[in-house]
Chain A
Amino acid sequence: MRAIGIILAGGNNHKMKELSQKRAVCAMPIAGSYRSIDFTLSNMSNSHIQKVAVLTQYNARSLNEHLNSSKWWDFGRKQGGLEVRTPVVTADNSNWYRGTADAIYQNINFLKNSHEPYVVIASGDCVYKLDFGKLLEYHIEKQADITVVCTELPEDVPCERFGTVRMNENYKIEEFEEKPLQAKGHTISCGIYVIRRRLLIEMIEKCAQEDRYDFVRDILVRYKDIKKIVGYKIKDYWRNISTVQDYFETNMDFLKPEVRDYFFKQYPDIYSKVDDLPPAKYNVGSNVRNSLISSGCIVNGTVENSIVFKKSYIGNNTVIKNSIILNDVYIGDNVYIENCIVESHDTIRANTRYVGEDGIRIVVERNDRYIL
């Protein structure tokens, strides 16, 4: 593969409310067994990108733990492999990453020490499958300076939190607005870019000289008339998870057979860190309907239209509806949970009730746990 990868995984996001208090958005658990960054990492691995840097900053502990071995994504290589890069204090820099472009600037040696001619930049908070090899072919064929992966959102989905683009008939991007007050179209940038390595170094260094720090605002938007920026439209499943509502809906999408088929059954696979958990266990009285259950779970109660992540325990006569139960949650007997996201490692006491009345309720309960 003639490209190296950079995954931007540093961002904080208050739209995730309590969920991002203990982890970066990229480490959010998805679809029972995965974390958000697994999708981008697996895509890179499956596209034979050999060398990937993950740039992290905010609340990175959970993410670092997830990435503590690179072998699960087949990045355990002598040549290249996976590097996790947090900001470091050096003789001439004592800043955190002040933006996406600054994050790349502070790791400019990663670009300079590579020999691959291209760079794929992607964010770690999206759920999708993409062959970066095909994307690179397209980039070369279009003779683009920068290729931006775009997707069309449905008419009823607001686009104001994304970067919106307008392309001409040759897919050249003519307008690029970052988080516009009012979106003009429904084509948005997916936050995935291909760019020639030398050009990227040049632009990032120039940007840093001018004290500009953001890749989209200070590079893409400013260069859109000078450089040839081309859009690459994807039609398959793509979703960003960085609001509570999107996170909830993305997970619930996995209850649809076509989405499961696309991600779980079709080539190529998505990989994640292996947890060595036993098979899920259903005891007498368990009643599970239209739900995803992950390994290590023990189910005694009712679960409907929900996603239960790894290693959770669900007590007797407990009812869980339309909810997401994150990893290692202990739910006592006679509990009722509806329209909730239950934070990982929670302990829910017996005989309690949690209902999201208007919208999704995030449940964070730090009770003592006495088990078995």
Chain B
Amino acid sequence: MIKKEMIAMLLAGGQGSRLGVLTSKVAKPAVAFGGKYRIIDFPLSNCINSGVDTVGVLTQYQPLRLNTHIGIGIPWDLDRNIGGVTVLPPYEKSTNSEWYTGTANAIYQNLEYMESFNPEYILILSGDHIYKMDYEVMLDFHKANNAEVTIAVMPVPMEEASRFGIMITDENKKIVDFEEKPAQPRSNLASMGIYIFNWKTLKEALITNAEQPSLDFGKHVIPYCHEKGCPLYAYEFNGYWKDVGTLSSYWEANMELIDIVPEFNLYEEYWKIYTKSEIQPPQYVAADSVVERSIIGEGTEIYGKVYNSVIGCGVTIGKNTVVKDSIIMNHTVIGDNSELYKAIVAEDVQIGNQVRLGYGDEVPNDTAPHIYNQGIVTVGEKSVIPDGITVGKNAVVFGETSAEDYQDGKLLPSGKTLIKAGE
């Protein structure tokens, strides 16, 4: 008989549109992070480190890279005879076929998957946060309180609380009320989007609310459980937790890794983060290059100067090129004598010689100022930037560009958007 005490359901289907061109071809959980990782590595590694060996990954938006990355789960030791990692895309049914229309709807559509493991508890995770957390401790808390639903929360500064879903608890951490993005927050405990449900409670709630359009945990399932009188508890988490949902928070979270002793330490032995290593060779740093305050992935060759940056695997940085305050993802090639300031360059990008990124005045982006801001230049994956181009701040380049696409054949001013990719 198959029996798993707790299985995890990892929501990895969202686009993450606030990451702009970074997620135009990949789902947010598959976006590279910290040199060699992808965002989904963090919850997956947490699962296996917490002893959760059965994980269903719900995919929908652009799943190719995510699927290739997860494979059969070898990097996380999730290749199991029973359980392990299973990718769960939406599928056609004899009646009522639909995409995943909401977080809870996606889980609802996979009731059979969960049922097959005969679980006691279901752990709901999302694939877009950077943190290390022992879910087993959270489960102990859940059991100790005889809770039916436990929501992981973390204290945030009171002035930021109005950006989050806020839980109001009594002295025993029992949730008495909650409010979504309140103007006048009554508490500073923000929901982290991590839930443990008793299987029976979850199943009943999902089936009862099945007809609700865009069934969502925060909007429908949790309120339903609360109204029904289920004991809801808040599990307070005080470690490092970072939402990397926006370009600026993504950039900041990467930059925090290069501190001398970063708050989020990847070098600890006892809670390793695992990832699929695409390539294995060591990195080469040439004779007249400089590397300072940076982290660099495998197989990268550096001939230029790199300061305060996070560089992925298999990257080439040419002679006399200066890379500063930037994030360069896997397999990107940058030519000679170029300069990059505060740039996020996605995977497989080719940047020519004498290219300058992040040059000029701070001008708000003309198409999506809420996405592209803070002076960050963003270059989408597989883009090509020819020799001699200058790109300003808050600008976006995506696609195989040639000199004609630029002002006078050499300039993309600050705040401009150049998207040339198909579709």
Contacts and interface: CB of A to CB of B under 8 A. Distances in A.
B75 interface: yes
Interface in A283-333: 283-296, 298, 307-309
- Chain B's interface size range is 35 or more
Contacts of A292: 282-285
B97 to A, nearest CB: 37
Interface residues of A, number: 39
B258 A31 contact: no
Contacts of A279: 34-36, 266, 295-298, 310-311
A308 B291 CA distance: 15
Interface string B277-302: 10111111111111111111111010
Contacts of A34: 280
Interface centre among A32, A34, A271, A308 (most CB of B within 10 A): A32
Nearest to A278: B266
Contact of A290 (B282, B287, B293): B287
A171 B34 CA distance: 53
B96 to A, nearest CB: 40
Interface centre among B261, B285, B293, B297 (most CB of A within 10 A): B285
A291 B286 CA distance: 7
B273 A307 contact: no
Interface string B303-314: 000100011000
A48 interface: no
Interface centre among B273, B280, B289, B310 (most CB of A within 10 A): B280
B376 to A, nearest CB: 21
A269 B275 CA distance: 19
A296 B267 contact: yes
Contacts of A309: 282
B133 to A, nearest CB: 18
Contact of A284 (B34, B274, B287, B293): B293
Contacts of B273: 276, 278
B293 A282 contact: yes
Contact of B281 (A31, A284, A298, A308): A31
A295 B282 contact: yes
A71 interface: yes
Contact of B284 (A282, A283, A291): A291
A290 B286 contact: yes
Given A280-B296, A282-B294, A31 B74 contact: no
B74 A32 contact: no
B291 A295 contact: no
Contact of B287 (A282, A289, A293, A295): A289
Interface string A46-61: 0000000000000000
A276 B295 contact: no
B260 interface: yes
Interface string B332-352: 000000000000000000000
B272 interface: yes
A196 interface: no
A277 to B, nearest CB: 9
Contacts of A32: 281-282
A184 interface: no
Contacts of B291: 282, 286, 288
At the interface, is chain B mostly helix, strand, loop or mixed? loop
A309 B283 CA distance: 10
Interface centre among A264, A281, A292, A372 (most CB of B within 10 A): A281
B285 A289 contact: yes
A347 interface: no
B276 to A, nearest CB: 9
Contacts of B274: 276
At the interface, is chain A mostly helix, strand, loop or mixed? loop
A263 interface: yes
A272 interface: yes
Interface in A52-86: 71
A300 B388 CA distance: 35
Contacts of B275: 276
A226 interface: no
Contacts of B295: 278-282
Nearest to A304: B287
Nearest to A282: B291
A264 B294 contact: no
A217 B40 CA distance: 56
Contacts of A286: 291-292
A272 to B, nearest CB: 6
Contacts of A281: 258, 267, 294-295
A22 to B, nearest CB: 21
Contacts of B272: 276
B285 A288 contact: yes
B288 A289 contact: yes
Contacts of B296: 279-280, 282, 293
Nearest to B74: A71
A33 B285 contact: no
Contacts of B75: 274, 276
Interface in A240-297: 255, 260, 263-264, 269-272, 274, 276, 278-296
A292 B260 CA distance: 21
Interface string B8-43: 000000000000000000000000001110000000
A34 B281 CA distance: 8
A341 B294 CA distance: 26
A290 B301 CA distance: 10
Interface string B186-209: 000000000000000000000000
Contacts of B289: 288-289
A293 B285 contact: yes
Contacts of B280: 33-34, 269-272, 274
A277 B266 CA distance: 8
Contacts of A294: 282-283, 298
Interface of A: 31-34, 71, 255, 260, 263-264, 269-272, 274, 276, 278-296, 298, 307-309, 372
5 contacts: A260-B281, A269-B279, A274-B280, A288-B289, A289-B288
Leading 10 A-B pairs by shortest Cβ distance: A32-B282, A279-B35, A278-B266, A264-B281, A290-B287, A294-B282, A292-B282, A288-B285, A279-B295, A282-B291
Given A32-B282, A279-B310, A298-B267, 16 more contacts: A33-B282, A71-B74, A264-B299, A271-B280, A278-B34, A279-B35, A279-B296, A279-B298, A289-B285, A289-B286, A289-B288, A290-B285, A292-B285, A295-B36, A295-B297, A295-B298
Interface of B: 34-36, 74-75, 258, 260-261, 266-267, 272-275, 277, 279-299, 301, 306, 310-311
